[in-house]
Amino acid sequence: MLGSKAGTQILDGNHAAAVGAKLSRVQVIAAYPITPQSPVTEKLSEYVEGGNLKAEYVAVESEHSALAVCSSASLVGARTFTASSSHGLAYMHEMLHWVAGTRLPVILACVNRAIGAPWNVLNDQQDSISQRDTGWIQIYARTNQEILDSVIQAYKIAETVYVPVMVCYDGYILSHTEMPVDVPSPRDVDSFLPPYKPHTILDPANPRNYNLVTLANPRVNAEGVLCHGYMEIRYLLQEALQNAGETIASVGREFGGLFGRSYASMLWEYSLDDAEIVIVAMGSLAMEAIVAADTLRDEGHRVGVLGLRVFRPFPKSDVVTALKKARLVVVFDKNISYGSEGATCSEIKSALYGSGANAVIRNFVVGLGGRDIKARELAGAVNKSLPALKEGVLNDEYPEWICHI
Amino acid sequence: MMKEIRVHARAGQGAITTATILANAAFEDGKYALTFPTFGAARIGAPMNAFVRISDAPIRIRSQIYTPDYVLVQDPTLMRGYDVVTGLKQDGLAVINSTRNPSELGLKTAAKVLTVSASQIAQEFMGRADRVNTAVIGAFVAASGELTLKALEKAINTRFSGKAAESNWKALVQAYNEVKNRGNGL
């Protein structure tokens, strides 16, 4: 029984994201509406307009400007929030690089949607996966509760490691789906997330230059101090992401201690203890996969689920540990790196290389452009992969698509 | 035990509101609920579905509903060209907004079919024949025994306020009583 627990509300994913931003006491919001993200911006502008959120809502003419506004606001010390989807996120691409390169703790909610052509407003994860190499931390939610909780944690993570965070959640499947969400009290969130204290801000009283043309090699500045070249600055971004896992886990653990929902791992594990077969999925699909795993267990197979919560930084060593006993790994991707395979499958293979793991890996591309994914299709794909286990063919060059061709 | 409800309507006829009210009422009754619509053409008047899952345990399944326990049809014209009862469980129930008798509809299902004049009820209480969702909910609850009136009243007052809450509640109760008074449950 759930009961009508105090604080629990029926919220859709977009509403949960907006509440997360509100509870995080964001100070500047700039966003441009796009399906299926629009209700996030509507909700936040409503909060600001109604006096329920002391923030500046900047209406802009494009996503590119939205992130430029967040970038500038962050540079002067404000806690900032934006949200987008699909073509909107693609249009932000340049600014995504700028924000990460400038090491600004901006938070972006990406409501995952397919990208044209052909025109499609429905869900897959091609949009955020296409931004994989911009230097943002990427967290994926399976439920609306995880959306709300992840937005709040994202600020603490970003403001600790100075890397922006993208909280990604599936369009419609979460964004427009209503489910119970436990909404924490503002007081509890305040105790978890203190106001943002930037280590340095752009201040007219103390003029400085930021983001100058930086040459290939380190060189001395006007004061005679040897400064980093481009490569050193970029190395520090990589180092920050490499080390971010510890912060993501410790912030998740602290969150769990306060709110009773722990996010201490970058992975979600289900029935892995005795699992020979492991289904890997990211986002809401990782929840549907549990239903498939239960079905397969009823049929006598030892199946577990590995849900990817954090895609960047990719939790390589955790994945190796989680898949140590697996003989068959079936990876489902709602994205495709054309000419290669699903992005998460590549990561899994890369993580396992040299680990001693000898599992058969099969990759299925599913759910592009909103194609509904049934649990029995996931189970069917696992069944279809079983002969490979006997044949011992570890790798397939290309993924299989669950579609009508 | 999970129950699945599929709502058939045209975009703009409030199927999402129907689903939201059902989910909120289930939640008020102490259950877990999950509700979502399909978006197709994203045009007013286009046929669409909204889905509701109600369960005593947390709901993990995210896909659309293919074998519903209940089907609610808000617009009778959808039965032209659409098999609204496809996949409906044999021991399930279809609630259709129609002035005709269930046997006249020619629906191919072994499940129970209930018709209710929801458009007329909506006209009477809301002054608009297309605001049928609360009347359809009233008929559904009377025939299925799912959800309590107390929870529905709370859900309606969460979704609507003032005169809209009042007239929607009256429409729901009217449909509920009409079905209950038929005596045979249908």
Q: Which pLDDT does position A286 carry in this prediction?
A: 97
Considering CB atoms only, which of B28, B34, B66 is closest to A177?
B34
Q: Note whether A284 contacts B30, CB cutoff 8 Å.
A: no
Are A138 and A311 in contact by the 8 Å Cβ rule? The answer is yes
Collect all residues of chain A within an 8 Å Cβ-Cβ radius of residue B56: 1
Q: Note whether A178 contacts B60, CB cutoff 8 Å.
A: no
Q: Which of B27, B35, B62 to probe the A interface (max A CBs under 10 A)? A: B62
* Mean pLDDT computed over B147-154: 97
Are A155 and A193 in contact by the 8 Å Cβ rule? The answer is yes
| Cβ of residue B37 closer than 8 Å to a chain A Cβ | yes
Is it the case that residue B174 has pLDDT exceeding 70?
A: yes
CB atoms within 10 A of CB B54: 25
Collect all residues of chain B within an 8 Å Cβ-Cβ radius of residue A4: 27-28, 30
Q: Which pLDDT does position A3 carry in this prediction?
A: 42
Bin A369: left if φ > 0, else alpha if -120 < ψ < 50, else beta.
left
* Shortest distance, CA A336 to any CA of chain B (angstroms): 21
Q: Which pLDDT does position A6 carry in this prediction?
A: 66
Q: Any idea which residue has 């007052």 for tokens?
A: B157
Are B81 and B38 in contact by the 8 Å Cβ rule? The answer is no
| Residue B31 C-beta-side C-alpha neighbours within 13 Å | 22
Q: Note whether A288 contacts B37, CB cutoff 8 Å.
A: no
Q: How far apart, in Å, are the Cα atoms of A291 and each of A285, B59, B60, B124?
A: 10, 10, 7, 45
Mean model confidence pLDDT for chain A: 96
With a CB cutoff of 8 Å and minimum separation 6, the contacts of A269 are A304, A305, A306, A307, A322
CA A281 to CA B64: how far, in whole Å? 18
Radius of gyration of chain A (CA): 21
Q: Note whether A10 contacts B66, CB cutoff 8 Å.
A: no
Q: Which pLDDT does position A381 carry in this prediction?
A: 98
Assign A57 to helix, strand or coil.
strand
pTM for the model: 0.94
* Shortest distance, CA A80 to any CA of chain B (angstroms): 30
| Cβ of residue B41 closer than 8 Å to a chain A Cβ | no
CA A131 to CA B129: how far, in whole Å? 48
Q: Any idea which residue has 């979502």 for tokens?
A: B36
Options 3.40.50.2030, 3.30.300.160, 3.30.420.590, 3.40.920.10; CATH of B3-185: 3.40.920.10
Are A402 and A364 in contact by the 8 Å Cβ rule? The answer is yes
Q: Note whether B31 contacts A2, CB cutoff 8 Å.
A: yes
Interface of B with A in 56-85 (CB under 8 A): 56, 59-64, 66
Q: Which pLDDT does position B186 carry in this prediction?
A: 56
Q: Which of A45, A25, A125, A44 is nearest to A85 (CA)?
A: A125
Tell me the residues of A at the B interface, defined by beta carbons under 8 Å apart. Answer: 1-4, 8, 10, 35-36, 121-122, 172-173, 176-180, 284-285, 287-288, 290-291, 372-375
Residues of chain A with CATH 3.40.50.920: 267-401
Q: Any idea which residue has 């899952």 for tokens?
A: B53
Q: Which pLDDT does position A54 carry in this prediction?
A: 98
* Shortest distance, CA B59 to any CA of chain A (angstroms): 9
**Fold annotation for A267-401:** Rossmann fold (3.40.50)
Q: Note whether B37 contacts A10, CB cutoff 8 Å.
A: no
Q: How many CB pairs under 8 A join A and B?
A: 69
CA B56 to CA B58: how far, in whole Å? 7
* Shortest distance, CA A72 to any CA of chain B (angstroms): 36
Residue A370 tokens read as 């909103």
CA B138 to CA B173: how far, in whole Å? 6
Are A131 and A121 in contact by the 8 Å Cβ rule? The answer is no
Q: Which pLDDT does position A211 carry in this prediction?
A: 73
CA A216 to CA A15: how far, in whole Å? 45
Alpha-helical runs (H) found in A162-301: 186-192, 230-259, 285-298
Task: Please report, as a single letter, which amino acid is at residue A360.
Answer: V
Is it the case that residue B185 has pLDDT exceeding 70?
A: no
Q: Which of A348, A379, A381 is nearest to A282 (CA)?
A: A348
| Cβ of residue B87 closer than 8 Å to a chain A Cβ | no
Q: Note whether B39 contacts A4, CB cutoff 8 Å.
A: no
- Given a cut of 70, the residues of chain A with pLDDT beneath it are 1-6
Considering CB atoms only, which of A177, A285, A373 is closest to B36?
A177
Q: Which of A2, A142, A290 to probe the B interface (max B CBs under 10 A)? A: A2
User: Which contiguous run of DSSP H or E holds residue A152?
Assistant: helix A144-161
Assign B119 to helix, strand or coil.
helix
**Fold annotation for A7-198+245-259:** Rossmann fold (3.40.50)
| Cβ of residue B34 closer than 8 Å to a chain A Cβ | yes
Question: Can you spell out the DSSP letters for A166-180?
Answer: EEEEETTTTTT-EEE
Is it the case that residue B82 has pLDDT exceeding 90?
A: no
Q: Any idea which residue has 């938070």 for tokens?
A: A107
Q: Which pLDDT does position B184 carry in this prediction?
A: 59
CA A361 to CA B60: how far, in whole Å? 25
Assign A273 to helix, strand or coil.
coil
Beta-strand relationship, A137-140 and A310-312:
antiparallel
* Shortest distance, CA B103 to any CA of chain A (angstroms): 33
Task: Please report, as a single letter, which amino acid is at residue A132.
Answer: R
Classify residue A132 by its DSSP letter: G
Residue A315 tokens read as 């939790």
Classify residue B86 by its DSSP letter: T
Q: Note whether A122 contacts B39, CB cutoff 8 Å.
A: yes
CA B10 to CA A92: how far, in whole Å? 35
Q: Which of A53, A97, A105 is nearest to A77 (CA)?
A: A105
CA A241 to CA A135: how far, in whole Å? 8
| Cβ of residue B23 closer than 8 Å to a chain A Cβ | yes
Q: Which pLDDT does position A199 carry in this prediction?
A: 87
Q: Residue B32's beta-bridge partner residues?
A: B55
CA A290 to CA A306: how far, in whole Å? 9
ipTM above 0.90, yes or no: no
CA A314 to CA A242: how far, in whole Å? 9
Q: Which pLDDT does position A5 carry in this prediction?
A: 57
Peptide bond between residue A118 and the one before it cis (omega within 30 degrees of 0): yes
Question: pLDDT, tens digit, for every residue of B14-26?
Answer: 999 999 999 999 9
CA A345 to CA A336: how far, in whole Å? 10
Question: Could you give the dihedral angle defined by the CA atoms of residues B76, B77, B83 and B85, in that order, rounded to the nearest 10 degrees?
Answer: -10
CB atoms within 10 A of CB A58: 17
Q: Note whether A178 contacts B59, CB cutoff 8 Å.
A: no
Collect all residues of chain B within an 8 Å Cβ-Cβ radius of residue A374: 63, 66
Q: Note whether B32 contacts A122, CB cutoff 8 Å.
A: no
Considering CB atoms only, which of B30, B56, B61 is closest to A375?
B61
Q: Which pLDDT does position B39 carry in this prediction?
A: 73
Classify residue B20 by its DSSP letter: H
Residues of chain A with CATH 3.40.50.970: 7-198+245-259
* Mean pLDDT computed over B108-129: 96
Q: Which pLDDT does position A223 carry in this prediction?
A: 86
Are A9 and A183 in contact by the 8 Å Cβ rule? The answer is yes
Q: Quick one: closest CA in A to B155, which residue?
A: A10
